[in-house]
Structure 1
Amino acid sequence: MSQSPTANATLVKQLNALTERVDDLETELETKDQRIQDLEDDCETFAANLTATTDRIETLEEIIATERDRTATLEDRIDELKTENTLLQEELSNEREQNQRIRASVSRIINDVREYTCEDGSSVDATSPSIVAEAATVGETLHDTIQRSTENASLLDFTTKRPQNTGIHEKYLNILGRAEEKAREINSRTVYLNYREVATHYGCAYLTDGYRVMNEIAERVPGIEYVDGYLANPDIDPTTKVEGKRIRVEWNHPDLRGWVRAHRAE
């Protein structure tokens, strides 16, 4: 039985539509296949990047471990340097103390040489440069002695009975002790001391430090004044310069007596 032309045309049309649909599906499938391929390529790229990143992380971890070891080594070295620095500071402090003892001893030597009087009544020229040279030589000998035995350092103080590490206040008390003796000698509560007396009992060089100590003790201890020399001796020219200076000690000054009692009790 033959079909009508209309039916045939409908079948042809449906067949063409199915063919076009198949073509569309094939095109869509090819697109999806390409997309899948692209995703697979991206995954491979990501995997390669991940591997490289992992390797980089491992390398960085090794570097960090190395730096930690280096830091620990540096910290140990810093601790060693701190210990060495502490030891060096202690040695420096000891050297400074020894140097101070030597300077005090040399100053006393210079003072004793200047005070020395020969049997014939002559004395050493206080301005002679040989005094300083001889004192320097003695100072070198003293330094060698200290290095050989610091325990015998007290033997260096052979000119006075004052301890070498005397504090400032104790040195001031030594000066005031001389003033007290002088007050009894002249039967007066007001006494004057010159730079030689001050330097001798303080333990310093005459011209170098004597006037400085007089000025300092006058500023720090009540009842003591740094005055012109003509006040102590009318024979001194009132226009004299600093060489004529004295310290005046007022034993009746209540603050001075209190200061002496307080520091003698220390």
Structure 2
Amino acid sequence: MSSEGWEEQYGGGQTSGAWAGSSDPQQNNFFDPNNTVNFGQEQHFQSFDYTSSSNYQPTVTSVSSTPSMFVPGPIMNDMENGGGINEEDEPPLLEELGIDPNAILQKTLNVLNPRRSTDPAMLQDTDLAGPLVFCLAFGSLLLLSGKLQFGAIYGVGLLGCVALYGLLNLMSTNGVGLGVVISVLGYCLLPIVGLAGLNVMLSLQGIVGAVLAAAAILWCSWSASKLFVTALAMHHQQPLVAYPCALVYSIFALITVF
């Protein structure tokens, strides 16, 4: 086949653009690399208006205030709402433990000075820190003098507190709690603790020891009865309350001397 026949058959001589072929779309299937007329010159770009972006308002999708099963609710900040506690506003450690050093000091002064006026409301506080310290000090002083009596101290003390608790509830109309009885009897043990301290330095088995022991028993029973009468408003009944208190403290005095 000749070149003329090839061009006549496939329309090579009728190309007018980049693609060779006739006006028939079925024959316009070949590309002429030599013809670059109007190739890549008529490019149309779409123009965008960027000035309208200032009027753009995003759509806020409302979220239900009730959290779903898998979406946690909003976390409230206690510090922003004023519900938090700063380090400066935290109570002291002794106050968190229920120990009031001022109340312990006031009750100790009332024991050392039985004539001192006492606030009845202060005696309703069941403070056991002071009695525990005094009992440990009493047992430690007895241990220094060669007497291991911790079990006797706590056993006699508990038995005396329960007996006096029942007696005071029978004698008074207001009634008294067991914690109050333990607190008062424990604080009033202080003169016996002083007697045990003297026993470490000198022997009390004699006339001097008997006199000091009697004075300590009288001091403890008078202070305890005075506190009970003030707390329970048992006027003119202090001698009746002082007698069972003296029996309890007599046992502690005998443990100290002998």
Structure 2 length normalisation: TM-score? 0.25
Structure 1 length normalisation: TM-score? 0.25
Structure number with higher relative contact order (C-alpha < 8 Å, ≥ 6 residues apart) = 2
